[in-house]
């Protein structure tokens, strides 16, 4: 395309339009550690924003600043709507905040902690309370068999233990 058809303003703002991060329609339940993680993320993003704002002339920095501001708005919204939930440590059923030990049909042992959407991390075995796995486990007790409905095939799990921190 010829430069005659490109407005200078368009080039300056290329890449600075970023859609907002979608906010879940579910209640924003979080554990105490999840709330602390959100606060730490907000502090880090604010620090990044201040650092990037100092060198606004560079278009790559401008794009980073747009992303940081967008993420900061998202985190601020999540902190504002967070409902910190403290688990009932005497509960005999799986509830939000529980760490659940299960055995699958092949005898493999697994451990999952049910947490808020923003703190879910499958690498750390933390699953969101709205995930199919958490939905299968919530409300059940030790020795119950639950059916985990998965796209890769359903799995029957036996709950071996429930812990609350």
| Cβ neighbours of 75 (radius 10 Å) | 22
Task: Provide the pLDDT for residue 2.
Answer: 52
Contact 125, 113 (CB under 8 A): yes
pLDDT band at 11 (very low <50, low <70, confident <90, very high): very low
Task: Provide the pLDDT for residue 115.
Answer: 97
pLDDT band at 111 (very low <50, low <70, confident <90, very high): very high
Question: What is the mean predicted confidence (pLDDT) over 125-130?
Answer: 97
Strongest mean pLDDT among 8-22, 54-68, 116-130? 116-130
Phi, psi of 150 (to 5 degrees): -125, 150
Q: What's the CA gap between 140 and 159, in Å, rounded?
A: 8
Read off the tokens for 47: 């620090």
Question: What is the mean predicted confidence (pLDDT) over 15-43?
Answer: 90
3-class secondary-structure state, position 104: strand
Tell me the pairing of strands 109-115 and 126-128.
Answer: parallel
Task: Provide the pLDDT for residue 100.
Answer: 98
pLDDT band at 3 (very low <50, low <70, confident <90, very high): low
Task: Provide the pLDDT for residue 53.
Answer: 83
pLDDT band at 60 (very low <50, low <70, confident <90, very high): confident
Question: What is the mean predicted confidence (pLDDT) over 16-37?
Answer: 90
Rounded to a whole number, what is the distance in angstroms from the first to the last CA of the chain?
61
Nearest to 110 by CA among 94, 93, 122: 122
Task: Provide the pLDDT for residue 61.
Answer: 85
């Amino acid at each position: 395309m010829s430069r005659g058809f490109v407005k200078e303003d368009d080039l300056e703002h290329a890449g600075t339009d970023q859609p907002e991060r979608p906010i879940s329609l579910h209640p924003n339940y979080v554990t105490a550690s999840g709330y602390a993680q959100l606060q730490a993320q907000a502090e880090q993003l604010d620090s990044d924003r201040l650092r990037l704002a100092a060198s606004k002339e560079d278009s790559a920095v401008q794009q980073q600043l747009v992303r940081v501001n967008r993420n900061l708005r998202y985190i601020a919204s999540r902190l504002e709507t967070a409902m910190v939930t403290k688990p009932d440590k005497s509960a005999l059923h799986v509830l939000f905040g529980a760490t659940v030990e299960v055995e699958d049909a092949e005898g493999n042992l697994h451990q999952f902690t049910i947490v808020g959407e923003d703190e879910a991390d499958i690498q750390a075995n933390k699953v969101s309370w709205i995930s199919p796995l958490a939905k299968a486990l919530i409300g059940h007790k030790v020795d119950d068999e639950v059916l985990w409905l998965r796209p890769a095939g359903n799995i029957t799990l036996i709950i071996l233990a429930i812990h609350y921190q």
